[in-house]
Every structure is written in structure tokens, then in C-alpha cells.
Chain A
């Protein structure tokens, strides 16, 4: 896979103006962007200027030189849960439960998928067996009773509590897997370098290339770094109607220090750069006029970002690469015109960049 990628990089050294379909042919891929994993130390960064019609490609490691002293970078420090559990009904039917929210006491929230593993694309999986309120299911070492169900969305109460619940969860759960990866993704591969509480159903992956080399480089460049915790949910449920409604309302918590740094940055004319759309959702939700002044504490982000959304707090975004048609592309259109985003994606494709969740990145500033 590494060889194929290196080859694609060479192929991308075609003269400027190379057409997308030629780049696609030389990469041997059926989609414009590659979809393989990239080491977090060698991620490429597509930069898009919000104000001027400019896009370019550089190394993610040069992020500190792209920002200014007085800017503020805000990250989501949620650790990724082992959110995928193999379940079995009392009738012996297998299914997968994907946790979609943080665990609340011994209450689990998630989505049901049919039996099978990650090698089958989520949308091609068989439907889950019928599961009704009152059913008791096993989830590896966990046992739980269904207390609410709406289609594939489900809420359960685990028999295990406290220490035993967490021990069983980590003994049985795996991180949510991606169909285009051959081997099982281990838990360590889906954690950022600053992950704290396990709140995320899937990795807040925009932060994956933020190595400590980059983070300390940002500090040396006079860029402050602040955290919030946002319960990033599932990227896919296997159900079209549910998928169209993603992202669902997600819980967040913003520390007082972060609120102060945002206010201070704004007052001094600095820019607030969100690492990932979860950070945008949390900051914009907390600053929404409906809840009064921007304040610290927890809340639930319900807003949906699109081209019509007027950003109140966030000035810039680091995210993965997403092609037109993906929901993340729509989120990005709150930051820059769609045609500029489309052109940036085309440039990325020409240069053999990867749209994998664990792939290359994009900065809109």
C-alpha cells in the first residue's frame, strides 16, 4: 500500500493543469481522491484561502508557519471509545451495536447493524434482527436490557455498573472500523495525541496529524492551544434516512479557560482555528444567541453547518479531505465558496492525496 502511494505521489508530479481524470487513471483508483491511510507524521495539507481565490498544498508539519502569533487553535480532546460491540439476542441472533454517544452511568446509546464485520460496507450489511423494548442482549462481556428503540436507534441499560462496566466494555469493544481497511483498526490508531475522556463514537480525526512536534511548534510560534470535549458521533449508520440526519445532536463541554482564550483572541484581532467540525459545532453552539453570552460549561450542539451558516466564533478550520456530495463538504462550505472547495479537492486528487478518515488534511483560513 505504501508503494502504491509513493507511486501516486510521483504520478502527481505531472505539469500543472493535469486533468482530474488523468490523475485518477494514474492512481488506479475509482474515486478522485485516494483512500488509503497516511502516517500521522507525513500528512499533507491542502490550504484554502477564505478571502482570496488561492489553494495550495504543503506539509501538515508546516502548520505553525501558516498561523500567526495571537491565533488560537482549539482541539477536541475526546478519546475514541471502543464503540463497536458484537451483540447476540436471547434467540441467538447476531448483530453489531455501535455506540453513538458517551456512556451515561450504565446507559448505552447506539445504532444496530446486521451481523458481519467491517469488510462489508455499512450500507451493504444485512438489517439487524428484530430487537424490542424489554429484550435482553449480550454484548461480549456486557449484558444489557433494551429500554428504548426507534428503528435502528436503541437505548439500553447494562447489568454491569461502574468498574465492571468499563472493564467489560474495553475487554469486548473495538473501535468502529472502516470498510476500506484490510486489518482490524486497533484502539491506539484512533486516538489523538491529547485524548482525554472517552466520549467519541468515532475518532475526532482532524486532530490526528497534530503530533507534539506540531503542537509545541505552534506554541513557539505564539499560537495558543485550547481544548474542548465534544462527543463526536457516528459517521455512518447503514441506514439512508438516519445517515441524512447526521450529525445528530452531540454533547460538548467547554472549559472556562477556553472561553477566556477565545474572548481574548477575538479582542486582540487573532483568529480562532477549529481542529475538526466537532470543534466548530461546539464553539458555534455555545455562542449561539439563543443561549445568551458565550459561556463555559456543557451543552448539546444541534446546529447544522452549510453554505448559509454565518460563523460567529470560528475563523478557520482544519479537517480531512471530503469530496462534494459528502456531508463534511457541506460543513466546509460555511467557510469558503463551494467552487473553491471543489477546486481544492481536485488539486488534492491530482497530487495523490487521501480522503481516508486517517488520511490527508485541509486548512481553510
Chain B
């Protein structure tokens, strides 16, 4: 899939992997709509891309708010036109320090699922239809190895990511032959605020830079032969030709 000239929407785009993805897509000529809750860091991220000559727009909104999703999609398509790439990167761990499942409030589990699963689903419902009728598109769910491994204390997050992986697979099956690819990507461990929130004493030097991971994910979006719809890909295992 060609990135140049394509409209791309990235959630959780004010920092970490989301910001790096927006930068990588804009550097390849995409028009990028960047969604995040906090307007100030989002404005900074947009300004950085524009200063490099890229096309980026800010949409300050909370993906977990059901009343916000049509506004997000409408603002995005008003600003960048048709959306060909949607990257569901925004996600929450729930309360930190992370708790055992039996110590997790039910409402906290529901809130994590709302942000990490239902919100992205609502947005996909709005954006995927136009992609399918145009015959081309990519929907990327940022997953985690917590979606497949059972790590104590990662329960709420882990459950939401496992469900999102399955959402990705079923959606890919339903949209087979429409030209829309649906991917789940485990980015691996990165040096981000989310990682620091989850594992404050991690050795940061051992973690990947978000920009390196973003470059791999953009390569996956480009390469429909290797990154087939329905696949769950692990970014650190992905070789990118230099």
C-alpha cells in the first residue's frame, strides 16, 4: 500500500509510539490526523511534523467517549479527506501500580476495555466501510505480548488486548477480498511513558526506541504481501530493508 498522499488517522498520537507513527507516516507523504486527549502535547507533536514540511492535524478527543467518535472521524475527514490508514494506538493500563485481577475494581476493568477495545471498534465501524467500498485500506491494532502471555498484575490490560487481537482477526475474515487489511501488531517493549508507568525500574537502555518500531509498522502497512490481513505481527521480528 502506498503511503504517499494517503490519509492516515493515529490515536494516542501526542507521545510515544503514536507520535512516532504519525511522524513516520508524515515523512512518507501521508496526511495525518493525530488524536489524543491532551491538547498541549498534541499541538507540540503536530507542530514538529509541520516544521519538517509534513501534513498533520490535531484532534483533541478521548477515544473512550462514545459521543466523541463520530466527531473524531468527521473532523479527520474534513481536514485530511478520505482515511486510508487507521492506527489504533491509544490505550490505557488502568490504575497503576498494576494490580492483581482480584484487587481490580470491576469498573476499572470496564474502563480499560472501553478505551482499548470498544473505542477502537466504534472508530473502525465508522472508517472501515468507506475503505472497503474504495477497495483499499489498512486498520492496525497496536497489541502487546500481554495479549497472549498471562502476566500477573496485567489482567485488565491483558484481557482488553487479547480481545482486540480477536477483533482484528474476525474483522479481517469478514472483510476478506475487500482490499482492507486488518493487522494486530505487538510492538515489543519500548521506552515510553506507558512502559515507565507499568515497569518504573526497567533498564531503559534495553528498550526499543519508538521511532525504530514505528518504521517497522509503517513497512508492514506498505507490504501487503508479507503483512497479510488477519495476521498478528511481532515488530522486533520484522526485518526492514535499509
Contacts and interface: CB of A to CB of B under 8 A. Distances in A.
A274 to B, nearest CB: 15
Interface in B11-49: 46
Contacts of A79: 73-74, 77
A170 interface: yes
A188 B174 CA distance: 22
Interface in A196-245: 196-198, 212, 215-216, 219, 225-227
B71 A187 contact: yes
Interface string B83-95: 1000000000000
A81 interface: yes
Given A162-B57, A166-B79, A167-B59, A193 B129 contact: yes
B133 A167 contact: no
Interface in A147-183: 162-163, 166-167, 169-171
Nearest to B177: A219
A191 B129 CA distance: 11
A195 B82 contact: no
B79 A162 contact: yes
B59 A187 contact: no
Given A195-B126, A198-B77, A187 B133 contact: no
Contacts of A188: 70
A196 B71 contact: no
B134 interface: yes
B58 interface: yes
B174 to A, nearest CB: 8
Given A188-B70, A191-B70, A166 B75 contact: yes
A363 interface: no
Q: Is the interface of B mostly helix, strand, loop or mixed?
A: helix
A196 B75 contact: no
A170 B78 CA distance: 11
A310 interface: no
A74 to B, nearest CB: 10
Interface in A76-91: 77, 79, 81-82
A121 interface: no
Contacts of B134: 227, 255, 257
B60 interface: yes
Contacts of B78: 103, 166, 169, 197-198
A69 to B, nearest CB: 16
B212 to A, nearest CB: 29
A163 B126 contact: no
| Most central of B71, B74, B82, B132 by chain A CB within 10 Å | B74
Nearest to A168: B75
A81 B135 CA distance: 24
B129 A195 contact: yes
Interface string B122-142: 000010011011110000000
| Most central of A75, A162, A163, A188 by chain B CB within 10 Å | A163
B130 A194 contact: yes
| Most central of B82, B126, B130, B177 by chain A CB within 10 Å | B130
Shortest Cβ-Cβ A-B pairs, 9 listed? A170-B71, A194-B129, A196-B130, A166-B75, A187-B70, A197-B77, A193-B129, A198-B74, A194-B133
Interface of B: 46, 57-60, 67, 70-71, 73-75, 77-79, 81-83, 126, 129-130, 132-135, 174, 177
Given A216-B174, A257-B134, 20 more contacts: A75-B133, A77-B130, A77-B133, A79-B74, A162-B79, A166-B75, A166-B79, A167-B75, A169-B78, A187-B70, A191-B70, A194-B132, A196-B83, A197-B78, A197-B82, A198-B78, A212-B129, A212-B174, A227-B134, A255-B134
